[in-house]
Amino acid sequence: MSILKRLPFVSLVLLLFTYTTLGWVISKAYAPKFIWVLTVITILVLLGGLTISWRRLTHYSFVLFQSNLRSFSITVLGAFLFFLMIAHFRVFLDTLLIIAAAVLAKIDFQTAGFSEGQAFWFLSIFSLTGLALGALIHKFI
């Protein structure tokens, strides 16, 4: 079967639109270059975390909770992130939408039979293309 026939186009278009909106918002704020670089790195880390296998993820979670100090630090960090979520609810909802679109696309890639590496590369290409497309649309409109 051709790889183009197996691609989940609906979820990829949704992913492209969400990252286009993110690119538009960052471009509208006239953010400096390091914000763009930080955004690209964050996107790649997020997509890498989504496409990693569950066995490796459980290994990393066991490493985080091996000592009481680490468990306490994770708890304090979680409480702080919950505070930020409540304080900046609009930003949280936008972030949640981006993560949900990426998770949907990852699930569609997994059910279509793509490997982890293929899913990561397709998600990365569409996400970064959407980010650049949003910046270009804002620049030319």
Report how many domains make up the chain: 1
**Is 115 in a helix, a strand, or coil?**
coil
List the domain range (segments joined by +) for residue 121: 3-140
Q: What percent of the chain has pLDDT over 70?
A: 91
pLDDT at 3: 67
Indicate the pTM of the whole model.
0.80
Is residue 129 within 8 Å of 16, Cβ to Cβ? yes
Q: In this predicted model, what pLDDT tens digit does every residue of 31-85 receive, in sequence order?
A: 899 989 999 998 998 888 888 776 766 776 677 677 778 778 888 988 998 898 8
* 3-class SS string, 73-117: HHHHHHHHHHHHHHHCHHHHHHHHHHHHHHHHHHHHHHHHCCCHH
Fill in the DSSP letter of residue 30: T
Rounded-to-integer distance, Cα 72 and Cα 21, Å: 36
Q: What is the pLDDT of residues 102-141, one digit of tens each?
A: 999 998 988 888 888 888 999 999 999 999 999 999 998 8
